[in-house]
Structure 1
Amino acid sequence: MTSSARTGLVVGKFWPPHRGHQLLLETAAAQVAELLVLVYARPDSETMPAPVRAQWLRELYRGDKLADGPRIGRTPLRIFALTAEADGVPPDAADYTTQREFVRQWLARQGLVVDVIFSSEDYGPGFAAHLGVAHVAVDNARQLVPVSGTLVRNNPMKYARHLHPLVAAQLGVVPPTEVPRVVFLGAESSGKSTLCAALAEACATVWVPEYGRTLHEQKNGNLDYDDLLYIARRHAELEDEAAAQAHGVLFCDTNAATTALYSYYYFHRCDPALQAMAAVCGQRYAHTFVCAPTVPFEQDGWRGPEALRSFQHGMILMQLDYFNIPYTLVEGTVAERVAQVQSHLTFIN
Structure 2
Amino acid sequence: MTIPPRTGLVVGKFWPPHRGHQLLLETAAAQVAELVVLVYANPDSPSHPAAVRAEWLRMLYRGDEGAAGPHIGHTPLRIFALSATDGVPPDAADDHTHREFVRQWLARQGIRVDVIFSSEAYGPGFAQHLGVPHVTVDESRRQVPISGTQMRGNPSAYAPYLHPLVAAQLGVVPPASVPRVVFLGAESSGKSTLCAALAEACGTVWVPEYGRTLHEQKNGNLDYDDLLYIARRHAELEDEAAAQSRGVLFCDTNAATTALYSYYYFHRCDPALQAMAAVCGKRYAHTFVCAPTVPFEQDGWRGPEALRSFQHGMILMQLDYFGIPYTLVEGTVAERVAQVQAELGRTAGW
Calculate the TM-score normalised by the size of structure 1: 0.98
Structure 2 Cα separation of the partners of residues 127 and 155 of structure 1: 29
Match of 2:265 in 1: 266
What's the CA shift for 1:83?
A: 1.1
Structure 1 Cα separation of the partners of residues 157 and 48 of structure 2: 20
What's the CA shift for 1:107?
A: 0.3
Match of 1:211 in 2: 210
Structure 2 Cα separation of the partners of residues 255 and 211 of structure 1: 10
Match of 2:25 in 1: 25
Match of 2:62 in 1: 62
Q: Which amino acid aligns with 1:255?
A: N
Matches within 5 A, 1:137-156: 137-156=136-155
Matches within 5 A, 1:174-193: 174-193=173-192
Matches within 5 A, 1:96-115: 96-115=95-114
Match of 2:234 in 1: 235
Match of 1:80 in 2: 80
Q: Which amino acid aligns with 1:91?
A: P
Structure 2 Cα separation of the partners of residues 224 and 296 of structure 1: 30
1:92 and 2:91 are equivalent in the alignment: yes
Structure 2 Cα separation of the partners of residues 219 and 30 of structure 1: 28
Q: Secondary structure at the match of 2:37?
A: strand
Matches within 5 A, 1:6-25: 6-25=6-25
Structure 1 Cα separation of the partners of residues 152 and 165 of structure 2: 16
Structure 1: gaps spanning 5 or more residues: none
* Cα deviation digits, residues 209-254 of structure 1 (max 9, x gap): 0000000011111111100000000000000000011011000000
Match of 2:224 in 1: 225
Match of 1:166 in 2: 165
Match of 1:5 in 2: 5
Q: Secondary structure at the match of 1:251?
A: strand
Match of 1:71 in 2: 71
Q: How many aligned residue pairs are there? A: 347
Q: Which amino acid aligns with 1:263?
A: S
Match of 2:327 in 1: 328
Q: Secondary structure at the match of 1:37?
A: strand
Q: Secondary structure at the match of 1:161?
A: helix
Structure 1 Cα separation of the partners of residues 18 and 278 of structure 2: 20
Structure 2 Cα separation of the partners of residues 23 and 202 of structure 1: 37
* Cα deviation digits, residues 13-34 of structure 1 (max 9, x gap): 0000000000000111111111
Structure 2 Cα separation of the partners of residues 155 and 342 of structure 1: 37
Q: Secondary structure at the match of 2:67?
A: helix
Q: Secondary structure at the match of 2:135?
A: strand
Q: Secondary structure at the match of 1:4?
A: coil
* Cα deviation digits, residues 128-149 of structure 1 (max 9, x gap): 0110110011111111111111
Structure 2 Cα separation of the partners of residues 307 and 48 of structure 1: 42
What's the CA shift for 1:80?
A: 0.7
Structure 2 Cα separation of the partners of residues 3 and 297 of structure 1: 51
Q: Secondary structure at the match of 1:68?
A: coil
What's the CA shift for 1:278?
A: 0.3
What's the CA shift for 1:90?
A: 1.1
Match of 2:197 in 1: 198
Structure 2 Cα separation of the partners of residues 170 and 152 of structure 1: 14
Match of 2:295 in 1: 296
Match of 1:317 in 2: 316
- Percent of pairs with identical residues: 85
Match of 2:47 in 1: 47
What's the CA shift for 1:69?
A: 1.1
Structure 1 Cα separation of the partners of residues 202 and 344 of structure 2: 10
What's the CA shift for 1:3?
A: 4.3
Structure 2: gaps spanning 5 or more residues: none
Cα RMSD after superposing both structures? 0.9
What's the CA shift for 1:68?
A: 1.3
Q: Which amino acid aligns with 1:169?
A: A
Q: Which amino acid aligns with 1:116?
A: V
Q: Which amino acid aligns with 1:18?
A: H
* Cα deviation digits, residues 230-287 of structure 1 (max 9, x gap): 0000000000000011011000000000000111111111111100100000000000
Match of 1:308 in 2: 307
